[in-house]
Structure 1
């Protein structure tokens, strides 16, 4: 069969995009599959598309592309098909109407699947009986505004089938549409097995992920986590995602004084690496159409605490076996569920193992099989010999007739001419990395992108001429990756950012290393190597997709383990690396305006290498618009000051995710000033008094 999926924007990140790409990739193993993306916003899809799946963009929104459609006068006229109440209706125009209509009129597909209400309505109005017309519901019946629900319900009678992702939602549709002859059924989303390592459920970290919308109830999760921190202050919560609730959630974090415990991480393109860091996953929604994040966490072996809301969680999780279900809207119950797993490592591990078994029900091949059966039953019910002949004739004619204004698929670049036997293949290295409990980094380079007998990993400092060379180990199996181990015991790297290259000895060709999976889980349990200068390495993918290292190298370092904002003070707790605490330890605030505005306060040792300090006053205001002080620890009277920062984990740039509220401090003259902590671009701690 030829199967076409209509998608709003295959180049974006979102649950519908991810689930559609998963299903399309699975079905491409046995069928011809095409994804038609109404909009193209990027050069390449951010989530990647299976190489067997053909991608056809209709309207190009990239203003720097030669195929940019923004100047087309039809883009200024609203769609006459898409319901105005549809949340993305403003994106649809007469140009999208024209391109979609032309595509649906000309396609030789056997099945066309529409993945959102706007496209369901369009498929119902302009689709053809030449192919099966199937709609998908990625939300639920009760979660559309009335006008959109009415428009979609009316469209369903023109389709062959309508597929929801939960059994309860399919039942709700049938209950509300009793006279509808269109087949309504449910097939869950597919969850492919991740390539990243699984969690060891050891790190004191809870992870949640999803769009920052009111229905996700991250406000309730933050409230519940405040109760958790009161009992287990070493635990942290990371919330991944973007959305309109970000400012309100930031305010909630401030209100609960959880700035050192709850972090809004933004969107992440490879959540599988982030689930692997978690020990508990959290889903606090008032409703979930399905629950893809539940499946992703389960794949990583992470037990999920979820609200038992309509419709997805209860159809996935068996309470007490592979996760926990708690009542929706109850912060106390959610906190109790989190604490039940936080307090019991063995239970986390056992539930995580059970979750990995549960998620096999949602393997892409199994979900693809269900769709194949549905399509087969629908075809059997309506396909006749005449229509089979008609389709064959139409396909033959399609090769002869001009395509008109209908955009075609992206064409692959012409194949390079064959090379002579003695000429090495082009070097296009791509690889990933893992980290271990010693803070070391293992680099892997895929065999498919390299050639030669002798390859070297070259690390080049981004702001200097320093280079470090590490041999890449050739694998015994030619299909296995080349590897290099970067160890703190054998390698010293200056502080900064290092770009990674692969160099071939035969001809000296050097190419920058493209990033695959960057797995940082090991850093959450790693510790700096004792008896040496402080060193820490964090691998990461650059914005343009290359593998790099952020390195820290200092004679000594004071790691800020806690930064607290109280009503009349700022407090810091920390651990000293590479130096010894002694008599006369001080916390120093070094003014960026000069020495007269520095301040100091006693640093009280709380252990052999740990300390605590409290700031209640600041020097008189300077002439600067925003007075700033960088924090240092003087370990003893005779010791040199040591920078205070937060470095020893997996966060490359802390500024975007770590925000601290202001509090009122006083000056020696009794004047009140507002002051707050912030992180510098080097992940060091500073104070601002704007």
Structure 2
């Protein structure tokens, strides 16, 4: 069969897109012709990896610098003739008359045997402009009750004209059957496809709670943060990470600061693939008021992480078996009940690990191959019903599809075009080494080397590791380990390449997966070479690199407290011993005459705390924006020791380790905003910035 998925915008990483990519890959692997059709194209490439055999196309070009850009098309100024879909109608990609025409043309000309719609407006187009020569299947990725009354009525009319409606929960299927009495449309539940990504499962000992999803009101991350505040009061060694982006980011940041949790709760931004981050957690948390399905629940389960979730409509209760693979918390219990559930798993190591093992078993039911088999069975049954009715047959379409591609509108991508860059899966090991696995399918049949080059290095320093021969591959992958015990990597960013042995013909290595879970609780390494840390990571271009630190001594930040009169920093010193006259130097980036110091107070072991009064910075202000780097001077005349956070799993903490600001009056510069912040070297600094022009205070 030729199966087409019609998405509004396939160039993101939301749940509908992820589930479509997962299902389309499994259908292609089962021998079907599959295409993902995006109404809009907003990026050069999809952000998610497609499996072989899945093709993409787009109908409306939204990239301003691309040939055929449709932004100036006169039809974009004309209103759509389709009913309003509140999820997109008020956004930057709101439907227009051009949208109507392009979708209608596609649905008129496609040679697909089955077209699957993925959101309300798409299902409306599918009913209005679709053809009886192919099966028309609508998907409901939200819930009936999520939509406003007007949209429910519009969808009701659309669904009645389709061959089938697929919901992602059984409860919602029941609701839609009640809504469509007497309709010929077949209504059933097939949950989302969620693959098991080849990530090592969580060990369950990271003392980290992980949550992921769009930062929107229904997810109720405010409930989770408030619940964690209660957890933090009793278990001060646990932390919370929130992954995702959305309109509630600023309000969540304010709540975190208000509750004094900025050392313990981090907004991590959007990360893909997310499974590497689930594997860093000991507990996963879902705090929503409603979930149509709960892909994040299954993703976390695949990684061996038990889930604490609100027992909200509709999905969580159909996925989680309370007490076996997770805990369900009544919605009316609020943040207190959620905190209590988190503490149950935090305080019982064996129960937490047993639930993690059970979660992996539960997640197997959502493997894409199993979900694809259910879709194939549905399509076969719908096709058989048609053949028993009026003589309308499904058409085999590959030749017609190719002919149509030659006259299509809009840009086309091919998942299998061009020579791929070498794919790599990297993983940090327990001792901080980096294991790199390369896909042999992407490598030439010749002796090869893995080359690490220090970025922007005048000396062009590099490390060369011979790669095993392809015949030594395991499941199509060869592995080489960059061992901490064998290599001393100077501080910086090391980019990875493959090259034929003995040549300079390098090819950049693309990161498919980078596992950092082993680093979450790992301290910087101290040996005869100094203090060091390595973090493998994916660059913004999708390539594999390793961030390294190497210095004679280092002061690792444990805690930062932003008070009313001073910022107090607690650190542990590696590679040096602070003496009785040790101070912290705030070194001005503009003028050494504006430096100032503060005495340290020793704590147990090699730890100390220091209080940096804001008055010291205010008295030395000289520009619109003044900056001071913080350094430890272990003794008078000693070399300065950087203060920062290089341990753990983060190559760049600037956006995740964020501290609140204090606003204070300055006699000559108006109001000053003072804030401790993390630099691009993961070091701690102090910022003082004008927020009112002088004379306007």
- Say which is worse superposed, 300-309 or 5-14, in terms of deviation: 5-14
Q: Which residue of 1 aligns with 2:695?
A: none
Offset, 1:635:
2.6
Q: Which residue of 1 aligns with 2:235?
A: 232
For the residues of structure 1 that align with 2:582 and 2:259, how far apart are their CA atoms? 31
CA offsets, 1:522-552, max 9 Å, x none?
Answer: 1113233333301111111111121112111
User: Aligned runs of 1:424-435 on 2, under 5 Å?
Assistant: 428-435=421-428
Partner of residue 693, structure 2: none
Q: Is the 8 A contact 1:456 1:469 kept in 2?
A: no
Match of 1:419 in 2: none
CA contact (8 A) 1:169 1:311 kept: yes
Q: What is the Cα deviation at residue 23 of structure 1?
A: 1.0
Compute the displacement of 1:403 (Å).
7.1
> Mapping of 1:481-560 within 5 angstroms?
481-505=477-501, 508-532=504-528, 533-560=530-557
> 2:599 maps to what in 1?
602
1:261 aligns with 2:264: yes
Q: Return the TM-score normalized by structure 1.
A: 0.93
Contact 1:515 1:541 in 2 (8 A): yes
Following superposition, the deviation at residue 402 of structure 1 comes to 10
Instruction: Describe the SS at the equivalent of 1:647.
Output: coil
SS of 2:256's partner is helix
- 8 Å CA contact 2:291, 2:314 repeated in 1: yes
Partner of residue 579, structure 2:
582
Q: Which residue of 2 aligns with 1:627?
A: 626
CA distance in 2, matches of 1:545, 1:551: 18
Q: Would you say the 8 A contact 1:618–1:668 is kept in 2?
A: no
Counterpart residue number, 2:76:
75
Match of 1:477 among 472, 489, 493: 472
| Structure 1 position 203, deviation (Å) | 0.9
Residue 436 of structure 2, aligned match among 443, 452, 456: 443
Deviates more, 1:589-598 or 1:358-367: 589-598
Partner SS, residue 324 of structure 1 = strand
Contact 1:454/1:506 (8 A) holds in 2 = no
Match of 1:41 in 2: 42
Change in Cα spacing, 1:477 to 1:489, as seen in structure 2 (3 Å) is closer
Moved more, 585-594 or 343-352: 585-594
The 1:286–1:151 alpha-carbon spacing in structure 2 relative to 1, beyond 3 Å, is same
- 2:559 aligned with 1:562, yes or no? yes
Distance 2:477 2:394 in 1: 50
- When residues 562 and 506 of structure 1 are mapped into structure 2, their CA distance, relative to the original with a 3 A threshold, is closer
Deviations 1:623-655 (A, max 9, x none): 222232221122345643211101111212211
2:192 aligns to what SS in structure 1? coil
CA 1:681 to 1:540, structure 2 compared with 1: closer, same or farther past 3 Å? Answer: same
Within 2, Cα distance between the matches of 1:677 and 1:402?
A: 56
Q: 1:406 to 1:676 in 2, by over 3 A?
A: closer
Whole-Å Cα distance in 2 between the matches of residues 399 and 463 of structure 1?
47
Structure 1 CA distance for aligned equivalents of residues 171 and 247 of structure 2: 28
Where structure 2 has 5 or more consecutive residues not aligned to the other structure, the ranges are 690-697
* CA–CA distance in structure 2, aligned partners of residues 190 and 572 of structure 1: 46
C-alpha deviations, 1:215-236, integer Å up to 9, x for none? Answer: 0000111111111111112211
Task: Give deviations 1:76-113, integer Å, cap 9, x for gaps.
Answer: 22321242645346532222212211111122222211
Give distance in 2, aligned partners of 1:369 and 1:543.
Answer: 36
- C-alpha displacement at 1:594, in angstroms? 2.8
CA contact (8 A) 1:82 1:122 kept: no
Greater shift after overlay, 307-316 or 640-649? 640-649
Q: 1:414 to 1:657 in 2, by over 3 A?
A: closer
Q: Could you tell which deviates more after superposition, 339-348 or 274-283?
A: 339-348
Instruction: State the distance in 1 between where 2:584 and 2:665 align.
Output: 17
Deviation at 1:209, TM superposition (A): 0.5
Stretch deviating more after TM superposition (591-600 or 316-325): 591-600
Q: What's the CA shift for 1:56?
A: 2.1
Structure 1 411/563 Cα, relative in aligned 2: closer, same or farther at 3 Å? closer
Q: Distance in 2 between matches of 1:105 and 1:41?
A: 24
Q: Report the Cα distance in structure 2 between the residues aligned to 1:442 and 1:527, rounded to whole angstroms.
A: 19
**Of 150, 154, 165, the match for 1:151:** 154
SS at match of 1:91: coil
Query: The residue matched to 1:125 in structure 2 has which SS?
Result: helix
- Distance of 1:179 and 1:455 partners within structure 2: 66
Q: What is the rounded CA distance, in whole Å, between the counterparts of 1:397 and 1:586 in structure 2?
A: 77
Listed as ranges, the matches of 1:22-171 within 5 Å are: 22-28=22-28, 29-83=30-84, 85-88=86-89, 90-171=93-174
Separation of aligned partners in 1, 2:394 and 2:688: 76
Q: Which shows bigger deviation, 657-666 or 322-331?
A: 657-666
Deviates more, 1:366-375 or 1:593-602: 593-602
Task: Give 1:673 shift.
Answer: 6.3
1:205–1:406 Cα change, 3 Å: same
| Contact residue 523 and residue 648 of structure 2 kept, 8 A | no
In 2, Cα distance between equivalents of 1:226 and 1:389: 61
Name the stretch that deviates more: 467-476 or 14-23.
467-476
Aligned match of 1:381:
385
More moved, 313-322 vs 644-653: 644-653
Q: TM-score, normalised by structure 2?
A: 0.92
RMSD between superposed Cα atoms in Å: 2.6
User: Deviation per CA, 1:458-517, whole angstroms, max 9, x where unpaired?
Assistant: 222211133222223314435643333222222122211121121212654222222221
Distance in 1 (CA, whole Å) between partners of 2:400 and 2:43 is 33
Measure, in 1, the Cα distance between the counterparts of 2:189 and 2:326.
23
Question: Residues 585 and 596 of structure 2 are in contact (CA less than 8 Å); yes or no, is this contact kept in structure 1?
Answer: yes
User: For each residue in 1:145-169, what CA deviation from the matched residue of structure 2 results, as whole angstroms up to 9, or x when unmatched?
Assistant: 2222221111111111111100111
Q: Which residue of 2 aligns with 1:207?
A: 210
- Assess if the C-alpha contact under 8 Å between 1:654 and 1:683 holds in 2: yes
CA shift at 1:406, angstroms?
4.7
2:461 is aligned, of 458, 467, 470, to 467
Q: Could you give the per-residue CA deviations for residues 590-609 of structure 1, whole angstroms, max 9, x where no partner exists? A: 22343343332232222221
Aligned to 1:662: 661
